[in-house]
Amino acid sequence: MKEASITRRLTLSLAAALAGFWLLATTLGVMVMQDEFGEIFDSALQETAERLLVLVADNATPDSGVVSASGKEYLIYQLRNDRGEVLLRSHDAPTTPFDVPLKRGFWRDASYRYYTATTAVDGRLYLQVADALANRREALIEGAMALFLPVLLLVPASIALVWYIGRRSIAPIDTLRQEIASKDGGNLAVIARDGMPRELLPIVRSVNLLLNRLKAALDAEREFTANSAHELRTPIAGALAQTQVLIDELPSGAKKARARQIEASLANLSHLAEKLLQLARAEAGLGAVETPVDLARVLELVVLDFQRDPRVSGRLRFQRAEGASLRYPASEDGFAIALRNLIENALVHGAADAPVDIRLEPDGVVRIINDGHVLADWELELIRKRFGRGRTSASGSGLGISIAERLLRQMHARLELLSPPEGMPSGLEARIRFDPVPPG
């Protein structure tokens, strides 16, 4: 499920609120306009009727039938006597009398708004002026459009403005989020409070307190691990040497076999102490440097060192693609430790009679490929964890891949594990891929 964005939620909410207020204000404006237009039209209708009555009353005769000039008329009228007969009418007015009572004032039907004016002296003449309601609706629609059209332009502009202001307002939150996301075992520096809004300062203060406590705990753990491993190396080496001397002095038999078991256990303990020292160095941020170095040369030296080991027996094969290079800001020692752990993992846990291929591709990707059984996805995740071991009977501490991945992460490189390797039916491939170096 995709996480909701505060900016998106804020923009949509404020935009909807603004649009609602704009529409509500415009609707109220149209309602007020309708009432005002009605008053204006009624006033004009009444004034027209009263003024026109003065003009036409003197010319009215029972048989005159006079009509006004032709052309479109917004107002029509009929001059009627007290018997309801039409004495005079406008050009567009019907010949039959309006269905309106002969009574001074306003009247309305489905199509017209009428006003009846009568002579003040005898009240025997009635002038009835009609205003088509369609004209009023047309004026109201045009007025409403004049209000709504700007809203159609202002609402998108308001949304864009709200989005811009929202992004600017929550920029410190995004900065704080990125600062917190960048924290890991190799970066526990406190977050700067400069420029942070007052509302975020309690969060920054709490996070910094947590970082300080975590840093103190990790430093104590690393110091204990490094000191313990370092202090154990000398007595373990001494005990291993004494055991090897004892093995040479003992005759063949059960005692010598037990001595060899002790030797194997001490060798494993020495190997574990070495891995713990490497882990302590990795957690101390060994891999992070700023000066670019030739890591391809480090790769060649590590491979050559392994190839000189008689226990490898020629299993290690190295191939560097033509023109391939790997120059990157990374620690040479850290990269060498990561490579040694990955190569050792391939030699120890891969098929014993199969070669291990080390390849440097033209794009700078380092591939370490060994044959063996296929690992499921959950096994690939397991061996990434500290002390995680897959289905293997070989000796080991379960720290090699964890150490390598931690070091490579500090060098802005990714460790990809594929099983089976590309183009092979079985085995495991460890692929080191460096992120592009940012400009400047």
pLDDT digits (tens, 9 = 90+) for 136-176: 888 888 888 888 887 778 778 877 887 888 788 888 888 88
Alpha-helical (H) ranges within 63-193 are 133-169, 171-181
Rounded Cα–Cα distance for residues 65 and 271 (Å):
125
Tell me the mean pLDDT in the region 65-87.
72
Lowest mean pLDDT among 169-173, 183-187, 260-264: 183-187
Nearest to 285 by CA among 333, 229, 220: 333
pLDDT over 70 (residue 121): no
Nearest to 78 by CA among 89, 68, 62: 89
Tell me the mean pLDDT in the region 303-321.
86
pLDDT at position 119 is 79
pLDDT band at 366 (very low <50, low <70, confident <90, very high): very high
pLDDT over 70 (residue 2): no
pLDDT over 70 (residue 239): yes
Rounded Cα–Cα distance for residues 325 and 333 (Å):
18
pLDDT at position 37 is 84
Nearest to 130 by CA among 115, 109, 118, 117: 115
Token output for 14: 């404020």
Rounded Cα–Cα distance for residues 21 and 175 (Å):
33
Q: Which helix (H) or strand (E) holds 115?
A: strand 112-118
pLDDT at position 69 is 45
Lowest mean pLDDT among 47-51, 56-60, 259-263: 56-60
pLDDT at position 391 is 63
pLDDT at position 203 is 87
Which strand ranges, in their side-by-side order, compose the sheet holding 316-320?
316-320, 356-360, 366-370, 428-434, 413-418
Classified as helix, coil or strand, 86 is strand
Tell me the mean pLDDT in the region 244-259.
82
Cα–chain-centroid distance for residue 379? 31
Tell me the mean pLDDT in the region 119-138.
81
* Residues 256 and 247: beta-carbon distance below 8 Å: yes
Residues spanned by CATH 1.10.287 within the chain? 184-284
* Domain 184-284, CATH number (from 1.10.287, 2.40.160, 3.30.70, 1.10.1740): 1.10.287
pLDDT at position 110 is 86
Tell me the mean pLDDT in the region 237-254.
80
Tell me the mean pLDDT in the region 30-54.
85
Q: Which residues contact 309 (CB under 8 A, 6 or more apart)?
A: none
Residues spanned by CATH 3.30.565.10 within the chain? 287-434
pLDDT over 70 (residue 349): yes
Query: Which carries the bigger pLDDT value, residue 204 or residue 162?
Result: 204
pLDDT at position 440 is 44
Tell me the mean pLDDT in the region 377-405.
73
Tell me the mean pLDDT in the region 315-320.
90
pLDDT at position 280 is 67
pLDDT over 60 (residue 268): yes
430: phi then psi, degrees, rounded to nearest 5 = -105, 120
> pTM for this one?
0.49
pLDDT band at 396 (very low <50, low <70, confident <90, very high): low
Structural domain 287-434, CATH architecture? 2-Layer Sandwich (3.30)
Helix axes 332-349, 295-307, angle to 10 degrees: 40
pLDDT over 60 (residue 438): no
pLDDT for 88-114, tens place per residue? 888 888 888 988 888 888 988 888 899
pLDDT for 212-236, tens place per residue? 888 787 777 667 766 666 666 678 7
